[in-house]
Structure 1
């Protein structure tokens, strides 16, 4: 007598084939995950800058924007927080008397972010007119240091931020001078 259906053995074979296919597909997903993670970090920085700029214009106050590892002090090399605050005492650090607008945890633990600002400052200041006292950029390099996944957020002297672009089509975002971003090896 014949019975229709699948046996436990058939099910185990099907699951083994699925597991084999998934194990082959997962490494192929890593570049895509790294790309989207990098883009997420750059958009988070971009939106924090936009928030600081809008606050400065609306409240007629200078706003300091910077990256930080401690969550309170501006640093050039960082990977944990982006700070947006009114720095009443101009010490590039959130302290008593400062108005904290945003301290946002940045998902850059698997990489590093470098702040490149005019005069080698670790921060920029947005004025009530919306312009930046110090033009510059924040550059994200993933833990793999693969420049194909690096991202750049730049703001010009009039305070307009923009996301870096790959102008020449080689897959690597360029600095404003046209040279490709380089991540430390």
Structure 2
């Protein structure tokens, strides 16, 4: 009587093909996950910033006091490093500094991977009058991901009315434009 041998397992060729297919799927999944993660970080930063700007403006209106929004230096004066904690505080004398802790309305440290730059002309702050207007302190804040990929950059503009606007990609090139129609650049 002849013995039949039953093959068990995979051949080397089958194993290589399966591993190749798994590697291709993992590559696409990884790229999609990376994009999703960058968009989520961008949206989180935008949401926190818009919320803080609206809070500062509304506080100025409700309290009928000037409110300043800026990154603070260790000596509690407005500084230019927008990656430091951002502080909204009562600033009735317009000194751009905190002399008493009771002036502080809200402190926000963005915990999303990225960098911010405030473009406020000659100023390093945004200021809201009791009317809510930000006439003399307008500008924008640009958020960029850690890898400085312009496709994931975001910009919030603050107009004279003190309202924040999130920049859009109007020409569909994948990069948002500033107020002049130029692509926002991560530097």
Question: TM-score, normalized by length of structure 2?
Answer: 0.79
From 84, 87, 91, the equivalent of 1:87 is: 91
Match of residue 34 from structure 2: 30
From 44, 51, 55, the equivalent of 1:47 is: 51
Contact residue 62 and residue 125 of structure 1 kept, 8 A: yes
Question: In structure 2, do the counterparts of structure 1 residues 152 and 101 end up closer, same or farther at CA, with 3 Å as the change threshold?
Answer: same
Q: Name structure 1 gaps, 5 residues minimum.
A: 1-8
Match of residue 113 from structure 1: 116
From 114, 117, 124, the equivalent of 2:126 is: 124
Over the aligned positions, Cα root-mean-square deviation in angstroms equals 2.7
Q: Counterparts in 2 of 1:1-185, with a 5 A limit?
A: 23-24=26-27, 25-68=29-72, 72-96=76-100, 99-108=103-112, 110-118=113-121, 120-132=122-134, 133-184=136-187
Q: Name structure 2 gaps, 5 residues minimum.
A: 1-8, 10-14
Q: Secondary structure at the match of 1:78?
A: coil
Q: 2-side partners of 1:69 and 1:22: how far apart?
A: 48
Q: Secondary structure at the match of 2:30?
A: helix
Instruction: Please say which structure displays the higher CA radius of gyration.
Output: 2
Contact residue 38 and residue 140 of structure 1 kept, 8 A: yes
Q: 1-side partners of 2:52 and 2:104: how far apart?
A: 12
Question: In structure 2, do the counterparts of structure 1 residues 27 and 97 end up closer, same or farther at CA, with 3 Å as the change threshold?
Answer: closer
Contact residue 80 and residue 105 of structure 1 kept, 8 A: yes
Q: Secondary structure at the match of 2:32?
A: helix
Question: TM-score, normalized by length of structure 1?
Answer: 0.80
Residue-pair matches, total:
170
Q: 2-side partners of 1:174 and 1:113: how far apart?
A: 16
